[in-house]
Structure 1
Amino acid sequence: MGKVRIRIVKRTARELLEKYPDLFTHDFQHNKVVVSRLVETQSKKMRNLIAGYVTHLVSLRLKREAAAKQ
């Protein structure tokens, strides 16, 4: 089973990746700083949830690109 995330986290993370695909990496700490600059969140926890999901999506994208090359 996967991790359950609320809709606002998923939607915000996908929108950020659409608008700024080059700003995010597979490093959570870097993504946390970028998310805090781009989004005014209600709490640190929300910021970290968004940054974590962005990191997850970037990692998936990198794995898919690597698999496509082989």
Structure 2
Amino acid sequence: MGKVYTSLIKRTARKLMELYPGEVSEDFEKNKEVVFKYLDVKSKKLRNQIAGYLTRLVKLSKRAEVLPQEAEVSDES
């Protein structure tokens, strides 16, 4: 079973991804630095949760970009 994130974590991660798309990546450690750089997060746990969800969002968005192309290729054959 997966972890259920609060709306604060989801909203903050989506906003970071929207505002700084070039700085977020699939690397959790780099995303921790991005969260530290742009947000005033007092808690290490909250910072890590936001960075983890941000990592997940980046991976999902890249997967969503790849999947439609694969579907088009299999439809043509």
TM-score past 0.5 threshold: yes
| Map of 2:39 onto structure 1 | 39
- Tell which structure's C-alpha radius of gyration is larger: 2
TM-score, length basis structure 1? 0.92
**Matches for 1:1-70 after TM superposition, within 5 Å:** 1-70=1-70
Residue 52 of structure 1: SS of its match in structure 2? helix
User: Which stretches of structure 1, 4 residues or longer, exceed 3 Å deviation after superposition?
Assistant: none
RMSD: 1.0
Whichever residue aligns with residue 53 of structure 1, its letter is: Y
Q: Using the alignment, how far apart are the partners of 2:26 and 2:12 within structure 1? A: 17
TM-score (norm 2): 0.85
Q: CA deviation at 1:3?
A: 1.8
How much does 1:42 deviate? 2.0
In the alignment, structure 1 segments of 5+ residues that lack a partner are: none
User: Which of the pair has the greater relative contact order for Cα pairs under 8 Å at 6+ separation?
Assistant: 1
SS in 2 for 1:21: coil
